[in-house]
Structure 1
Amino acid sequence: MTREADVDVKEYIRELLPPREAIFLQMEEEARERIVPIVEPEVGHFLYWLALTNNSKRVLEVGTAIGYSTLWLAKAVLPRGGHITTMEINGPRAETARKYFQQAGVIDRIELIFGDARELLYELVGPYDFIFLDAAKGKYVEFLEKCIEMLVPGGILVAEDVFMKGMVISGEVDKRRNKTAVARLRNYLQMVREHPQLETVLLPLGDGIAISTKK
């Protein structure tokens, strides 16, 4: 499929999405203006669907940004009495996320932890039945075993942006500093495919999603 066809498919899928609540549209606009990386709307809707169909109640998100993906997960998890723990290293983004959680009326059921996941993650014990990895791409390998440890059998681990703008597939790196991240993402994908405790599929949604379930 050509790059142009990829764009057409992406736009077609997006046009078929159910109408999004005003808060999501507001967050999308703010993310564009401030150049904050958030998941695409179709990825957000997929996260919602996945958490909903898996009957997820205890969710961990590594990488909050302004809380866009968090609120998609909240749509599935919170109405059934669930809880979300999310962590963010960027102070202004964490404060923006809190603002949106307050606006959405869910701030009391979302625990937002400010700090570095390289430290915070290892202070958590879980268990969780849904973990969403959307942090520094070069850290996915480092976080994998801890995520598996905290995940319940049948739980889901989703890693976002695993194609890294196509560089993981093509091997053509746009900047020298991305070379290590690309190599580590390739390593991550190999690890989750071969890990004895996981079953994994890759989807070409957004910038690539790896979905693993714990046996």
Structure 2
Amino acid sequence: MYTIWEAAVSNIIQPEVQRYIRGLLPPRDNIFLEMEQEARAKVIPIVEPEVGHLLYWLALTQKSTRVLEIGTAIGYSTLWIAKAVLPQGGEITTLEINPPRAAAAAGYFKKAGVAHKIKLIQGDAREILFQLSGSYDFIFLDAAKGKYLEFLNKCLELLQPGGILVAEDVLMRGMVVSGEADKRRNKTAVARLQSYLATVTKLPELETIILPVGDGVAVSTKKDNKIT
């Protein structure tokens, strides 16, 4: 029987491979296990544990200190990133359109003792994102899949040279690879994700790698203009 994650990614990697990889991960804190249980019970989309650990590893090795997350859900991915960023005095801004999920995330942040270090903004990223200024060294994009391309230019504007942009669910249960959507409403999202991947892999200011982990992750690094 597939778990909530295995059902989503079985067209990308074999479930037994996923289980093996997940079995090698370090033990997760109880708060992550609690959030995973809520996500299963309420069918809330959160990143897979191995993707959470990837986010942690990327932020840790990049020594990220200023993070923007677009799509909080209940804060599962936020707390993975926080494990790497907050002990170093970093800060996280995260955007969530769904009020109940934003409220749940706020509760988990408080329970984890990090609510005062995370700026949670409840509202539509299509409006809020374009009001942001400053720079970030780590941006995690996990919003509506059909909006990734729409958000890309603004993300690049906010991303400092040497920073990374991580986009989640870019293979969309394998549909982006096959080009075939399981539902009519997913056709647009599939086409736009294909365009997003074609764009980020060709932009001269980015170096991008696509990882078949979870439901597909695209990691893009913004080149330093001083490097030729």
TM-score, length-scaled by structure 2:
0.92
Q: Give the distance between the partners of 1:178 and 1:100, measured in 2 at CA.
A: 31
Assess, with a 3 A threshold, how the Cα gap between structure 1 residues 5 and 54 changes in structure 2: closer, same or farther: closer
Give the corresponding residue for 2:25.
17
Aligned to 2:192: 184
- Cα displacement (A) at 1:3: 5.7
Matches within 5 A, 1:146-157: 146-157=154-165
- Equivalent in the alignment of 1:206: 214
Q: 1:186 and 1:90 mapped to 2: Cα distance?
A: 26
CA drift of 1:110 comes to 0.1
For residues 144 and 181 of structure 1, the distance between their equivalents in structure 2, rounded to whole angstroms, comes to 15
Select the residue among 164, 168, 174 that pairs with 2:182.
174
The alpha carbon displacement at 1:126 in A equals 2.5
TM-score with structure 1 setting the length: 0.98
Matches within 5 A, 1:66-85: 66-85=74-93
Residue 90 of structure 1 aligns with an amino acid whose one-letter code is N
Which whole-Å CA distance do the structure 2 matches of 1:206 and 1:176 have between them?
Answer: 23
Q: CA 1:165–1:79 in 2, change beyond 3 Å: closer, same or farther? A: same
Consecutive aligned runs of 4 or more in structure 1 exceeding 6 Å deviation? none
Structure 1 residue 4, shift from structure 2 partner: 10
Corresponding residue for residue 169 of structure 2: 161
Which of 70, 93, 103 in structure 1 is aligned with 2:101?
Answer: 93
Amino acid at match of 2:30: A
Runs (5+) with no aligned partner, structure 2:
1-9, 224-228
Paired residues, number: 214
Number of the residue aligned with 1:108? 116
1:27-86: per-residue Cα shift (whole Å, max 9, x none)? 000000011000000000010000000000000000000000000000000000000000
Secondary structure in structure 2 of the residue aligned to 1:165: helix
For residues 70 and 145 of structure 2, what CA distance do their matches in structure 1 show?
11
Give 1:170 shift. Answer: 1.1
**Residue of structure 1 equivalent to 2:133:** 125
Q: Give the whole-Å Cα distance in 2 for the aligned partners of 1:86 and 1:151.
A: 15
Structure-2 change in CA distance of 1:7 and 1:111 (3 Å): same
The aligned residue for residue 51 of structure 2 is 43
In the other structure, the counterpart of 1:62 is 70
Give the Cα–Cα distance (whole angstroms) in 2 for the partners of residues 4 and 191 of structure 1.
Answer: 21
Distance (whole Å) between structure 2 residues aligned to residue 171 and residue 193 of structure 1: 18
Partner of residue 32, structure 1? 40
Shift of 1:6: 1.5
Closer/same/farther in 2, CA of residues 81 and 4 from structure 1, 3 Å limit = closer
